[in-house]
Chains A and B, each alone.
Chain A
Amino acid sequence: MTDGGACSVCDSLARARSGDASAFTELVQRHQRTVYSLALRMLADAHLAEDIAQEVFIRLHRKLTLVQSDTHLLFWLRQVTTRLAIDRLRREPRHELLPLREDPGIAAESADGDPLLQRHLRALIAQLPPPARAVVLLRYQEDMDPADIAAVLEMPVNTVKSHLKRSLASLREKLDGTPGMAAAAERR
């Protein structure tokens, strides 16, 4: 019996490595949500997010021969995306930005829970310091455990745990300070 999903992934990677353009496009399509969403939530700017996301895949195209497996590919994509986003944030001159205006076309609201609360949470996450922001995104968007996050971000596991703990506390505190939001978080 074959696992069709796993084989098709390995197959795309192998074919892309040998120069098959359509296979590379399949890889892009398979991983574009992850890469783009990480960049979007890190940078809180859809245009910059697309710039970064494109740059990630351009770099992947050049370094494809170094990617060993699909697991390695996902690791590489998450690492390069967060790294490029953090670098971009460090180079960003300080200026006033409007809060991320989430067009319905940019962020699909989740069917579960309170859309207003979710939007507020995304805005609060965008205010976290970049390294903490990356940790939160890898934990709750990518569902990674602290050890894997530590490997992607090249930081000690205890630092990852500390970022998580402080970020959650900060989010909770800010939600408590926003009328209606704390109750919404409780109600779900």
Chain B
Amino acid sequence: MNAETLSLRLQESFGTLAEITVTGPRRLICKIASDQLKSVVTRLRKEFHFTHLSTISALDLTDRFEILYHFADSELCLTVRTEISRETPEISTITSIIPGAILYERELQDLFGIKIKDIPDNRPLLLPDDWKEGNYPLRKDWTFQMPLETIPGDDHSEK
């Protein structure tokens, strides 16, 4: 079925819980509140057969985080969007419904500092073991200054 028909069926089924928009020939966006995440994902999986989660992206809009779950089936791509606050960034896990989401959620915890509730595996995914706490590289306010290159043994007081 094409994107328009599916968007009408989804809107009918979810009612006020979700806002469905069609953004391209095979692309749909479904905007929900963050506490509805688990129930929406369960229904998408059981009733609409969106079993494949491609990835989870996160955006840092300066006053809040926006998390996108990219689902796909054999015909189109559905993105579930939800927003969480920046002061207490928390969202629940979906690994009980989709076990393959574990690495993507660990990446969110690592690089953005978003806390995922009830995650089965809490370890950081990508950053090194001696990374300082509280440093979240993909946030917009985290910048990195390359240290000035110096030649060892040179007398730098002249510069």
Say whether A associates with B: no
Chain A residues within CB distance 8 Å of chain B: none
Chain B residues within CB distance 8 Å of chain A: none
